[in-house]
Structure formats: C-alpha cells, structure tokens
C-alpha cells in the first residue's frame, strides 16, 4: 500500500504583499512542505519569486522549502537557489536539450520526447546533492513519462505537472494519473521509490485521482489560499486522500 500523503501548499496563490501572514497561517496546518514557484518569464509566460524572497522565506519558517524552478537555464542559476536556502530543488526535464522554446501564452508549455544527453541534467542533480539538498525532476503535461526515466533512480522526487505551468487556478489535466502510474511502475522496476509529486489543479476532488495511482506529495495553491478558510481546505485535501 502507499504511504502517508504529504501536502505542499503553493505560495503562488497567496497574497505576495502579505507572504508572512500566509506562511504563519498555513503553518498551523502543519504542511510537510511549502511549494515555491520560480518563473523566469521565458520557460513560462510569467514572473514570480526569486532568490531574495526564498532567502526571506527560509528565515521566516521551518517548513522545508520545495522550490520548483520553471526557468530555462537552471544550470546557470542553480547556485542562487542553493544559496537562498532551498531544501528541495526541482528542475524541468524540458531544459535538458539546451534550447527551450520561449512560452508566450498561458495554457501551453514546452515538451520533449527524449533527452539527448542525460549527463548534463545528472550533473546538475549531483550539484544539488553535493550541497546537501534534495533534487527533483519535473515534466510538463505534453512530455511523456519516459523522458524522465534516465533520472528516476537519481532523484528524491519526480514532479508531474497536471496543468501547463505558469499560473495558479487552472484545471487539472486528466492524463496526469496515468503518468503517475507509469512513473511508479518504472521506479519499481529499478527498485527505487522517489516521491511522486503532482502540481496543478489539485483539490479534494482531483487529489484522490493521483494518490490512487501512487502520488505521495500534492501541491495545492488555489484550492488552499483562495479558499474562505485555507486551513479547512488543507484538511479537506488530507481527508480526501486519507487511507482507510
């Protein structure tokens, strides 16, 4: 049977002018992670949080920071996020082949069929590990599960995007549970069990669809921070995926 499901509230849907208030509130729900979405205006058509804000968040809270890098050139900028105090750093596999097409519109995102030279991303993952942090690999909705197979036994976490990245509050893409199942099955054949995280459109209705396939960690932004009571919303997601 699968283990206890972890929750990572995404600050993307919090009030950026009141991040401390959002963090203090959500701390009361004891989430396992705080999900921080970093966007560079190129990999995704939006700009959000960068290293200085992550540094401040790291001082503010003891909740581990799950930093999701939606940036085109993670190799060049990785040290910024290590220095800022990210506990877990996830990079996108779509960056692996060098050139990443700029994403210019919401609801679309880059995809790749396969990685030409896994060595480059493996080296990046090794840099994250050398700094004593956990590493994740993420894939966009149109990238097939097999594109991340070369990294499954090298990372602590695989992040399945269940929306095209860039914005909170989008609808869950129905192919995500099957992708989770494929990744869990492949990890099993390798004898490893990285955390499977799902990000995008997660709420109390969609959460069980992915945990039923083996997802361990759920990101939720809109469903938590735009709820009348974020703590109640967090609890509703937990209850929706509780075993037994």
Residue 96 vs 224, nearer CB to ligand DX5? 224
d(CA 103, CA 54): 24
Residue 68 vs 92, nearer CB to Zn ion? 68
In the DSSP assignment, the letter for residue 112 is -
Tell me the closest approach of the beta carbon of residue 132 to ligand DX5, in angstroms: 24
Residue 122 vs 137, nearer CB to ligand DX5? 137
d(CA 113, CA 146): 8
Q: Which residues are catalytic?
A: 37, 199
> Could you say which of ligand DX5, Zn ion, none residue 236 binds, taking C-beta under 5 to 8 angstroms by partner kind?
none
Q: Which parts of this chain interact with ligand DX5 (CB under 6 A)?
A: 10, 12-13, 35, 37, 68, 163, 165-166, 168-170, 199-202, 219-223
Q: What is the DSSP secondary-structure string of 14-83?
A: S-GGGHHHHHHHHHTT--S-EEEEEEBSSSSS-B---HHHHHHHHHH--SPEEEEEE-S-HHHHHHHHHH
> Could you say which of Zn ion, ligand DX5, none residue 110 binds, taking C-beta under 5 to 8 angstroms by partner kind?
none
Query: Greatest CA separation found in the chain?
Result: 47
> Could you say which of Zn ion, ligand DX5, none residue 100 binds, taking C-beta under 5 to 8 angstroms by partner kind?
none
For the chain, list the strands marked E by DSSP.
6-9, 34-39, 65-70, 88-92, 134-139, 157-161, 195-199, 217-220
Residue 134 vs 162, nearer CB to ligand DX5? 162
Q: Which parts of this chain interact with Zn ion (CB under 5 A)?
A: 37, 68, 199
Residue 124 vs 224, nearer CB to ligand DX5? 224
Nearest Cα residue to 101 out of 127, 72, 128:
72
Which residue is nearest to Zn ion, using beta carbons?
A: 68
> Could you say which of Zn ion, ligand DX5, none residue 168 binds, taking C-beta under 5 to 8 angstroms by partner kind?
ligand DX5
Tell me the closest approach of the beta carbon of residue 10 to Zn ion, in angstroms: 6
């Amino acid at each position: 049977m699968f283990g206890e499901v972890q929750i990572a509230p995404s600050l993307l849907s919090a009030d950026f002018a009141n991040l401390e208030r959002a963090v203090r509130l959500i701390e009361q729900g004891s989430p396992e992670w705080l999900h921080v979405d970093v966007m560079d205006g190129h990999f995704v058509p939006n700009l959000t949080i960068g290293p200085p804000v992550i540094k401040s968040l790291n001082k503010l809270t003891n909740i581990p920071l799950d930093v999701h890098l939606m940036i085109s050139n993670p190799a060049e900028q990785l040290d910024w996020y290590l220095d800022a105090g990210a506990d877990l750093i996830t990079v996108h596999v779509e960056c692996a082949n060098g050139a990443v097409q700029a994403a210019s519109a919401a609801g679309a995102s880059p995809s790749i069929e396969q990685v030409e030279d896994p060595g480059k991303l493996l080296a990046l993952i090794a840099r994250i590990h050398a700094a004593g942090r956990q590493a994740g690999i993420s894939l966009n909705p149109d990238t097939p599960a097999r594109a991340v197979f070369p990294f499954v036994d090298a990372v602590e976490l695989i992040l399945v995007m269940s929306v095209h990245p860039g914005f909170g509050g989008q609808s869950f893409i129905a192919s995500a549970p099957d992708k989770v199942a494929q990744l869990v099955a492949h990890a099993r054949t390798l004898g490893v069990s990285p955390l499977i995280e799902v990000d995008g459109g997660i709420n109390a209705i969609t959460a069980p669809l992915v945990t039923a396939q083996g997802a361990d960690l759920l990101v939720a932004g809109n469903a938590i921070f735009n709820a009348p009571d974020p703590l109640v919303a967090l609890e509703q997601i937990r209850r929706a995926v509780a075993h037994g």
